[in-house]
Structure 1
Amino acid sequence: MSRSGVRVTTWAALRARRRALGRLAAWSVVESLPALLGGLLVARAVDRGFLAGQFATGLTWLGGLAVAVLVGAAATGRVYRSLGAVVEPFRDELAARVVDAALHDATRAGGRPDSAAVARLTHQVEVVRDTFGGLVLVVRGFLFTAGAALLGLLALAPPLAAAVAVPLVAGLAVFGAALPAMVAHQRAQVTAGEELGRSAASALAGHRDVVACGAQDRVVAGVDRRVTALAGAERTLARMAALRSLSLGLGGWLPVAVLVLAAPWLVRQGLSTGAVLGALVYVTTGLQPALHAVVQGVGGGGLRYAVTLDRILRTCPLPRSAPAPPAAGGTPAGPDPAPCSAVDAAAPPAIRLRGLTFRYGPHARPVLADFSLTVATGEHLAVVGPSGAGKSTLAALVAGLVPPESGTVHLAGVPVAGTPPGALARLRVLVPQEAYVRSGSLAGNLRYLHPEADQATVAAAVDALGARPLVTRLGGLAAHIDPGALSAGERQLVAAVRAYLAPAPLVILDEATCHLDPTLEATVEHAFARRPGTLVVVAHRISSATRARRVLVFDGDRPLVGSHDDLLRRSPAYRELVGHWEDVAPAADVALGRV
């Protein structure tokens, strides 16, 4: 979306409310009566009243000006009422657009909730609403007030109108020439602010990875760069205020200086004293305030309006009925497909991904590009990488929760695409980071995916995953549990036992043990590794990778797969993740006597 998009959207909003704009213009004509008549009435009061010795006549002319001011003031109230009929529907349209785009993105295939939509709805839409109303007000005010003042000057003394119009046009020209640079700097300031917010949010959301990898200094330095960039953009915007001052000096104050310096000469040429004073009234009470309002309004609120509306139009496109075709020139898979593939066995593998490409939005950078992977039945695979690299996306693709842009996903030889949810549930179980526990008995929660499991099977699963202390604390398997009374780690442990009991041969743990202590996490993962079937662990601790037979690491544009030792040699990203754990066995495994 470009500035033309902002213009098109603005003009469309104005054209859609032509009747409301017509009422606004009509009341603006009435409001501008003091600007039209002020100089003329002052000139008549001076020339025909006070200078002629007719004090009552002078007061009568000034009384006419007072009436015009009262009428204009009454019209001002109607102006604001008419302004609301123009602005508020536009605000409602933008709010609906933001909500529609957020819901569409969250519910489409491959979509996910976007917390930035809250900022767009609660902040950016209101910024557009306020600045749009301010722009309509100041531009309308300049056109009617400045036009009325120039008409009055023309009626009073045509040469004075020309002398005032020339510097006014020069000031507006300087301001107009500087506007593109102002818009660019305002856009840079908004972008810098969003990048700072995104960087800070990523640092907070991935604090476990940051601490685990010892990357605190690097992350802090990255956020600091965003803070510095935002501060620089703010300082540049402040310097741009000098151009607005130059425009005001040329268009607003130069005519005053011209009239004051030329007043003796104008009087000698036959212009009355009242006419000179009336011209000063037109300039100081009409043209100068109108110019100041439009320069400050467009240079301040107008820039915020253009940039903020542009951000809304960019981030909230109108939902499309079908996704756009994939962009050409995606990230190449590389000449060697071996890093993410394995030789097919005679029996169908547990997971087979072929040519998988996925991106969030038709123009976004691919999270996965032409990605292939084979996981044999009974294998234990760990998926590691920095926050936001695409680990959970891969888990969702394997589980069939989102469809790929291109490529295929097979589980035990069954294509995920087109398989009913019930059939998929018999092939795999996915345990997300936010574990779901429902109100009811503990046994009912644990048997949720395998209602036929007998008491001995459930008890064995509880013991295998180290959940016996939790079961005892809650009062046994028959105890009624309140999900809100459980900690995040306790809910994860309940979900882990439930998945362990599930008959599905493939288990995907998507950071499903991040709230458990390292010892209990190791117990859970070792239990799943011994369970018949295949295990995929999206890991948040590097110790999970050391326990896996193979590790998939998101290393830049091309994921790599291999053993722990192999990836230490081949992958700089993996070495960075391992950090000081490189030559140290996980403490939890030592405590459990498994090393």
Structure 2
Amino acid sequence: MPNEATRSTGTHAHSNAPAESTQATPPTDAHHTGTLPHRGLRFLLARRPVLIRLALWSVLETGQTFLVGYGLARALDAGFLAGRSAIGLGWLGLAGIGVVVGAFGTGRVYRGVADLVEPLRDRLVERVVVRGVREGNGGALSGLTQQVELARDTFAGLVMVSRSFLFTAVGALAGLCSLDPLLLLIVAPPLLAGVSLFAATLRPLARRQETFLLADEALADGLGTVCPGLRDITAAGAEEQVAADTARLVDTEFRAARSLARWGVLRVAALAIGGQLPIVLLLATAPWLLGHGVTPGGLVGALAYVTQSLLPALQNLVHGLGTSGSRLTVVLRRLTPASTTPPPMPKPPAAPVPHLTTPPALTLTSVTFAYGTGGDPVLRDLTLALPQGAHLAVVGPSGIGKSTLTALAAGLLRPGHGTIRMYGRPVSETLAQRVLIPQEAYVFSGTLAENLGHLRPDPVPEAELLAAAEAVGMTALLKTLGGPDAPLDPSALSAGERQLIALTRAYLSYAPLALLDEATCHLDPEAEERAERAFAARERTGGALVVVAHRISSARRAGRVLVMDGRETALGTHDDLLRRSPLYRDLVGSWSSEPALALGDADRVDAVAGSGLAGDGRHVVAHGPVGQVQVPGDLRDGGPLGGQG
């Protein structure tokens, strides 16, 4: 039959939905609202005693800095240059004692920093656990060992370098003033200019550092996807497309790195102005200073203040705040989002309003797709239009392209030619509006409720979860497993049990377009019928249902049937296709001739024994092509004999 005759819809539903549909949001908490600086300020103000202890112990470092320059100046002027070596040695000894006392104070400072940092780490861990454990967000737990520890260590480093610069600067400037105010006049202006320039670059540097980190992560994520699939990319002839996508990621990171480097030049300039220019000025003005009352010891002491105290402290501040501070900002924004209000999630479209034109749920226009540039097209010039509320069954011989069609509809594959739109928009922009359930159902370790609510942004109320299980036909399994809070061991579940869990998960999602790619092949006909009717009723509110059928009963239940046969396709009702499609008649005949047991199947074809039936333990019933067989009672049989094929 010609392609023009096909006007149907196909959509893909996958139990392992895109990341954007699985992000969970922590409960609203007054402690986690507001901008990041405001929350940081509240965190510090709540720990005033710790800050006061840090300041008191840091005073010892101020004394050490003061004595390093002042003691050296007095040792020269009052001691060695005056011929009194004992006095000079005494001042040097006093400066040495100041170093020892300062080291003791630094050790106590580390304890104070720990008292400040560990509560931050505890709060971040709590946030990660709330997002990851209570809300089933497995991606959030990945930050527990890396991002939280990175934030902890970086915050501790920033506290140390900023505190050290503040108290060192105070001690050095006080020492310069005590030696001679002229020395302070030479050193203070360039120091203040350098610090001011660095402060002015902090925000732009942080933004560009964050942009660079995001670009670097995007490139790493892209390469992590591409590298394991190089063989598939080559087989599909997608080298040019993948190379172009990767090149865009590389160019984005390159531009971000170049922008960051340009602003990094200002950071170097700030260090040169604030830390190195004072040395040059002291040496250049030395004759003038000595002629205006500055002693030789005072000049040497001033050089000691700049080279031994101010310059190292400024270097630590610039490098610490300029790099680590930006990284800390990025990590904290991810771990403690400013707003905990869940983002608006896509809801199923409202029921069509009479007399108004609504876009089709799924539209394929002249779609052609082939695996590899030299391969024969699996789909050729296929045009389908699936209206909202439609129920389509896709049938055809094994390997004819049924799963390829659903993958294209779901946006997992790109057509070589033609367009695919979902609710009037390109499918790449509407991924959250479709859910794909494959034959190999995905179940992860965790509770049953976490598995069922995996595609929801927040925990599913138990009443809604139980209603969904009842609608899909999972109530008996839910009770058998021990209820919503029961832990799951995926390896202990049969293929049919995993499919029921995946079907209920998709039913609970907000995605209006459901794609069932042989997602019920391990269920008996009665369970399959119940699940499909539940999805069909759900899609009447504006969604659509596409089922890749493996039983004739699925085709009979659908409003339309798409028969795929290589280059030709046919679309129509079951009775219509029986009259005009030889392939469909052959498929119906092969389905009807398969071994069957009289188990109450409404269509009397391809019956597969369900659970709990007496005397079914020794029968093997085919539910698909030869080689895909399963012992009856598949909800408790531990899985198919030959895999889930």
TM-score range, shorter chain: 0.5 to 0.7
Contact between 2:68 and 2:305, CA under 8 Å: does it hold in 1?
yes
- Whole-Å separation in 1 of the counterparts to 2:79 and 2:346: 78
Task: Please state how far the C-alpha of 1:10 moved relative to its aligned partner.
Answer: 1.8
Q: Does 1:177 align with 2:218?
A: no
Structure 1 residue 40 displacement after superposition: 1.4
Q: Which letter does structure 1 place at the counterpart of 2:470?
A: G
Pairing partner for 1:90 from 90, 115, 120 = 120
Distance apart, 1:439 and its partner CA: 4.8
CA distance in 1, matches of 2:69, 2:199: 29
Q: Secondary structure at the match of 1:270?
A: coil
Aligned residue type for 2:411:
P
SS across alignment from 1:32? helix
Greater length-normalized contact order (CA 8 Å, ≥ 6 residues apart) = 2
Q: Does 1:266 align with 2:314?
A: no
> C-alpha separation between the residues in 1 aligned to 2:81 and 2:102?
28
For 1:498, the equivalent position in structure 2 comes to 522
- How far residue 180 of structure 1 moved from its aligned partner, in angstroms, is 2.5
CA 545–148 in structure 1, closer or farther in 2 if over 3 Å, else same: farther
- What CA deviation, in whole Å up to 9, does each residue of 1:480-507 have, x standing for no partner? xxxxxxxxxxxx99x9653145434155
Q: What is the CA–CA distance in structure 1 between the aligned matches of 2:570 and 2:201, rounded to whole Å? A: 61
- My pick for the range that moved more, 204-213 or 214-223, is 204-213
Partner amino acid, structure 2, of 1:35: T
Q: Which residue, out of 335, 360, 364, partners 1:312?
A: 335
Aligned to 1:421: 469
Query: Taking every aligned residue pair, what percent have the same amino acid on both sides?
Result: 33
Distance 1:549 1:402 in 2: 35
| Separation of aligned partners in 2, 1:245 and 1:91 | 32
Q: Give distance in 2, aligned partners of 1:447 and 1:278.
A: 80
Question: Within 5 Å, which residues of 2 pair with 1:42-61?
Answer: 42-61=72-91
Q: TM-score, normalised by structure 2?
A: 0.57
Change (3 A) 1:379 1:166: closer
Question: CA 1:119 to 1:240, structure 2 compared with 1: closer, same or farther past 3 Å?
Answer: farther
1:249 to 272, 283, 298: 272
- 1:385 and 2:415 correspond: no
Structure 1 residue 104, shift from structure 2 partner? 5.1
Partner of residue 145 from structure 1, selected from 147, 158, 168 = 168
> Aligned partners of 1:333, 1:170: CA distance in 2, in Å?
66
CA distance in structure 1 between the partners assigned to 2:232 and 2:224 by the alignment? 14
Please, what is the CA RMSD of the aligned residues?
A: 5.0
CA 1:151–1:447 in structure 2 vs 1: closer, same or farther (change >3 Å)? closer
2 CA distance for matches of 1:114 and 1:146? 46
**Preserved CA contact (<8 Å) 2:473 2:530:** no
Which amino acid in the other structure matches residue 84 of structure 1? A
With 7-16 and 246-255 compared, the bigger mean Cα shift is at 7-16
Equivalent pair of 1:529/1:535 in contact (CA under 8 Å): no
Q: Deviations over 1:238-291 (max 9, x none)?
A: 343321221111111111111112222222222211111111111111222221
Is the Cα–Cα contact under 8 Å of residues 187 and 278 in structure 2 kept in the other structure?
yes
Count of residues paired in the alignment: 436
- The 1:385–1:162 alpha-carbon spacing in structure 2 relative to 1, beyond 3 Å, is same
For residues 439-458 of structure 1, the aligned pairs below 5 Å read: 439=492
**Counterpart AA for 1:44:** R
Shift of 1:114: 4.8
Q: Is there any run of 5+ residues in structure 1 with no aligned partner, and where?
A: 107-112, 343-370, 406-415, 430-434, 451-491, 510-523, 551-587, 590-595
Pick the aligned partner of 1:62 from 83, 92, 105: 92
What is the aligned partner in structure 1 of residue 43 from structure 2? Answer: 13
C-alpha deviations, 1:45-77, integer Å up to 9, x for none? 101110111111110110001111011111111
Find the counterpart in structure 2 of residue 367 from structure 1: none
Which residue, out of 231, 250, 257, partners 1:234? Answer: 257
Q: Secondary structure at the match of 2:146?
A: helix
Q: Is the 8 A contact 1:182 1:299 kept in 2?
A: yes
Counterparts of 1:391-470 in structure 2 under 5 Å? Answer: 393-394=434-435, 419=467, 421-425=469-473, 439=492
Query: What residue number does 1:412 align with?
Result: none
- Which of 21, 33, 58 does residue 63 from structure 2 map onto? 33
Q: How does 1:531-542 map to 2 (within 5 A)?
A: 534=557
Q: Counterparts of 1:255 and 1:332 in 2: how far apart (Å)?
A: 74
Determine the C-alpha separation between the residues in 2 that align with 1:428 and 1:392: 29
What CA deviation, in whole Å up to 9, does each residue of 1:15-55 have, x standing for no partner? 22222221111111112221112221111110111011111
Is residue 428–residue 507 contact of structure 1 (8 Å, CA) maintained in 2?
Answer: no
Q: CA-to-partner distance for each residue in 1:371-411, whole Å, 9 max, x for gaps?
A: 932227x8869743323864895357xx9966999xxxxxx
Post-superposition shift, 1:141? Answer: 0.6
Match in the other structure for 1:132: 155
Indicate if the aligned counterparts of 1:45 and 1:62 stay in contact, CA closer than 8 A: yes
Question: Quick one: structure 1 residues 93 and 53, their matched pair in 2 at CA, closer, same or farther if it must change by over 3 Å?
Answer: same
Q: Distance in 2 between matches of 1:120 and 1:83?
A: 23
Return closer, same or farther for 1:41/1:401 CA change in 2, 3 Å cut-off. closer
Equivalent residues of 2:394, 2:549 under 8 A apart: no
C-alpha contact (below 8 Å) 1:528/1:535 kept by paired residues: no
Answer whether contact 1:505 1:532 (CA < 8 A) is retained. no
| 1:326-355 deviation line (CA, Å, top 9, x unaligned) | 699x9999974363399xxxxxxxxxxxxx
Structure 1 position 372 matched with structure 2 position 388: yes
8 Å contact from structure 1 (residues 506, 534) kept in 2: no
Q: Return 254-263 or 231-240, whichever deviates more.
A: 231-240
CA contact (8 A) 1:505 1:533 kept: no
Aligned AA for 2:161? V
Aligned to 1:187: 210
Counterpart of 1:288 in structure 2 is 311
Q: TM-score, normalised by structure 1?
A: 0.61
For 2:93, the aligned partner's letter is: G
Distance 1:135 1:45, change over 3 A: same
1:427, 1:505 within 8 Å by CA — same for their partners in 2?
A: no
Q: Structure 2 unaligned segments of length 5 or more: list them.
A: 1-31, 364-386, 396-401, 413-427, 442-450, 457-463, 478-487, 501-516, 534-546, 573-623, 626-645
Amino acid at match of 2:130: D
More helix by share: 1
Deviation at 1:530, TM superposition (A): 5.2
Give the aligned residue type for 1:385: A
Q: For the structure 1 residues 170 and 526, does the alpha-carbon distance in structure 2 shift closer, same or farther, using more than 3 Å as the test?
A: closer
Deviations 1:273-316 (A, max 9, x none): 111111111111122222111111111211222233223334x8
Distance 1:64 1:445, change over 3 A: closer
SS at match of 2:523: helix
Query: Matches of residues 515-594 of structure 1 in structure 2 within 5 Å?
Result: 527-529=550-552, 534=557
Q: Which residue of 2 aligns with 1:157?
A: 180
Alpha carbons of 1:84 and 1:299: their partners in 2 closer, same or farther (altered >3 Å)? same
Conserved in 2, the CA contact under 8 Å of 1:38 and 1:281? yes
Which residue does 2:243 correspond to in 1?
A: 220
